[in-house]
Amino acid sequence: MAVTASMVKELRERTGAGMMECKKALVETDGDLDAAVEFLRKSGLAQADKKASRIAADGRIALASKEDRSEVVMVEINCETDFVAKDANFLAFTDAVASNALAASADDVEAIMATEFDGTSLESARQALVTKIGENIQVRRMARMTGCNNVGAYIHGGHIGVMVDLEGGGEELARDIAMHIAALNPAFIDVDDVPADVLEKEKQFLISQAADSGKPADIIEKMVSGRMRKHLSTITLLGQDFVKDGDITVAKLLKQNDAKVKSFTRLVVGEGIEKKVDNFADEVMQQVKGG
């Protein structure tokens, strides 16, 4: 059977696959549209599996929340390049993942990918997107806050996402605190939350550093104490100067608003993933030698 332009158009509308992929599928299935859909599905799975080993360290943090902000979820979806991270199809997929994650009771990615999306599953939609875009796409992780007091959420540039559970205060304050956490990346809420081993390691480092000054022991002790306080102010949320007003600390801001930070979560796209660094000059030389 001859493959017509209208057949290719219909298959593209049904699957979202590229024109050449649709034409190939129709040729392989002798014009049978249903068989061509299945052919593309299997082809997409094969391509997704093939690309799964490629590094995907770019992407987007997507957010979804209930209207009353009693529950908020963030998900990290990775792709290979910044170009694809801005693609409309990729963005639509990430929004769908976040929405399904909010609706699902499960907190693991595998369960969320099994949920329904547009007549299929999110996993099938991911495989189809890999086929369409040509990059490895992975849903890496998610975080959820449920039954919270006052949730502030903030996404910076699609690459940094923060959720903060605030007791007291208002919606604007909660968002401001989330924005601050996105900008200054505190490791802990307060000094009391810093593990003893972390404190001891930093203290020993400061003692060793101060010992080289040749100053008396009592002076060294004061030096270490002062530097330790400064260090703790930089790694704890409450000790940091508020990003929107450097004249007050976050602790003072919260006190002024009779509020308290219960917990926070900060996700950054690609953190912990070893990124591939391309050397353009080496790549050109390899091509020249290959030629």
Domain boundaries, the chain: 5-51, 53-147
More confident position, 204 or 249: 249
State the pLDDT at residue 11: 78
Q: How far is CA 161 from CA 51, 76, 187, 261, in A?
A: 26, 9, 15, 17
pLDDT bin (cut points 50, 70, 90) of residue 70 is: confident
Alpha-carbon distance of 26 to 4, in angstroms, equals 9
Pick from 112, 120, 99: which is nearest to 140 by CA? 112
Alpha-carbon distance of 13 to 62, in angstroms, equals 26
Q: Is the pLDDT of residue 287 over 90?
A: no
Angle CA 168–172–174, to nearest 5? 50
State the pLDDT at residue 250: 97
Q: What is residue 244's DSSP assignment?
A: T
Alpha helices (H) along the chain = 5-15, 19-28, 33-51, 82-85, 88-103, 109-113, 122-133, 171-184, 196-211, 217-235, 250-256, 280-290
Residues in the chain: 291
Averaged pLDDT, 165-188 = 94
Alpha-carbon distance of 43 to 45, in angstroms, equals 5
More confident position, 142 or 44: 142
Q: Please tell me the least confidently modeled range out of 80-89, 94-103, 144-153, 205-214.
A: 205-214
Q: Is the pLDDT of residue 280 over 70?
A: no
Is the Cβ–Cβ distance between 133 and 126 less than 8 Å?
no
Pick from 144, 53, 60: which is nearest to 96 by CA? 60
Pick the CATH number of 5-51 from 1.10.8.10, 3.40.630.40, 3.50.50.60, 3.40.630.30: 1.10.8.10
Q: Is the pLDDT of residue 284 over 60?
A: no
State the pLDDT at residue 46: 47
Domain 53-147 has CATH 3.40.980.10: no
Q: How many CA atoms lie within 13 A of 36 on its CB side?
A: 28
Quote the mean pLDDT of the chain. 85
State the pLDDT at residue 73: 95
Q: Which residue has the tokens 């007549």?
A: 119
State the pLDDT at residue 85: 94
Q: Which residue has the tokens 């810093």?
A: 194
